[in-house]
Amino acid sequence: MGSRSRYLWLLPSAALLGVILALPLLKGLAGGVPGIGDALRDPAVGRAAWNTCLFAGISVPLELGLGLAFALLLNRDFRGRGLARALAILPWALPTAVMALSWRWIFSDSWGIANDLPRALGLLEEPVPWLGRPGTAMAALIAADVWKTTPFVTLILLAGLQGVPSDLYEAMSLDGAGPVRRFFWVTLPLLRPSIALALVFRLIQALGIFDLVWVLTGGGPADATRTISLEAYDSVFRHLEPGRGAAVTLLAAAGMFAVALVLGALARGRGDA
């Protein structure tokens, strides 16, 4: 059987799969494109977009920094390294809904450890409503996300560190280079592709965050943690406005695509340099 015959046998399944994927996409475009202008002028959408960018702009750099530190630590040779690596990945392996409920208990102003421990140490006199104030609610959301997804970044960067040749470190050591110099001259340049990969993945995930916000804060208080994905969800399922929801989704997808293109171009430019 020739290669063309094999492709002909696959054609019906491919056509069916294409129709299944294309119809919802075309329907979403038809319903969302006319409402893009209204969505751009909607203050609620603008605030949701700002909250999303604020969340991503703070959480992603924290995750990259902590992930790099943990990856460097776990890349060292020490007793129990395998167990330490397994424990480090555990937060990322937990279901997001379960993790978010745990953080709701932690930040509870009635019995949460985020209040009980500082009060026991004399740092607080009254419990802080972490999830009841706009500023602290966003901080709590970012803290939960950093705890959840830093292991994912650590895993990517640790894989990149495994590919750095050890003889480069030995050569730098013979030249009298210390740990800091070896990090900036060897580790960081060779780790740039892994850092770029982690950055793209995490930015796209952070800009599309939904489940953690839905369970932990519900977008409150006073829409202080409402993200663009939550705004689209509420438009469709709460307010029964599928056109507005499709428009918000298209805007979010366009933003994520633009971010991915910019980061990809920057990564390629640095690689060529």
Query: What are the pLDDT digits (tens) for 159-187?
Result: 999 888 777 777 777 777 777 788 888 88
pLDDT at 236: 82
pLDDT at 253: 82
CATH superfamily of the 37-272 domain: MetI-like (1.10.3720.10)
Mark the ranges of the chain whose per-residue pLDDT is less than 50.
none
DSSP run (H or E) holding 244 = helix 242-272
pLDDT at 273: 53
List for the chain the helix, strand, coil content (%; round to 5): 80, 0, 20
Q: Tell me how far apart the alpha carbons of residues 52 and 206 are, in angstroms, rounded to a whole number.
A: 8
The burial of 158, by beta-carbon neighbours within 10 Å (0-12 exposed, 13-18 middle, 19 or more buried), is given as buried
pLDDT at 157: 94
Q: Tell me how far apart the alpha carbons of residues 51 and 62 are, in angstroms, rounded to a whole number.
A: 17
Helix segments in the chain, DSSP class H? 3-32, 36-41, 43-74, 81-93, 96-106, 113-120, 134-162, 166-174, 179-182, 188-207, 211-216, 228-233, 242-272
Spatial contact of 219 and 138, defined as CB atoms under 8 Å apart: no
pLDDT at 143: 95
Which single residue is written with the structure tokens 């030249």? 175
Q: Which residues of 207-232 are buried (b: 16+ CB within 10 A; e: fewer)?
A: bbbeebbbbbbebeeeebbbbbbbbb
Q: Tell me how far apart the alpha carbons of residues 195 and 145 are, in angstroms, rounded to a whole number.
A: 18
Tokens of 122: 């004399």
pLDDT at 48: 93
Q: Tell me how far apart the alpha carbons of residues 54 and 196 are, in angstroms, rounded to a whole number.
A: 20
**Residue 76: DSSP 8-state:** S
pLDDT at 163: 83
pTM above 0.85, yes or no: no
Spatial contact of 223 and 231, defined as CB atoms under 8 Å apart: no
Q: Is the dihedral of CA 159, 164, 166, 169 positive or negative?
A: negative
Spatial contact of 178 and 47, defined as CB atoms under 8 Å apart: no
Alpha carbons within 13 angstroms on the beta-carbon side of residue 142 total 20
Q: Give domain limits for the chain.
A: 37-272
pLDDT at 134: 87
pLDDT at 268: 67
The burial of 17, by beta-carbon neighbours within 10 Å (0-12 exposed, 13-18 middle, 19 or more buried), is given as exposed
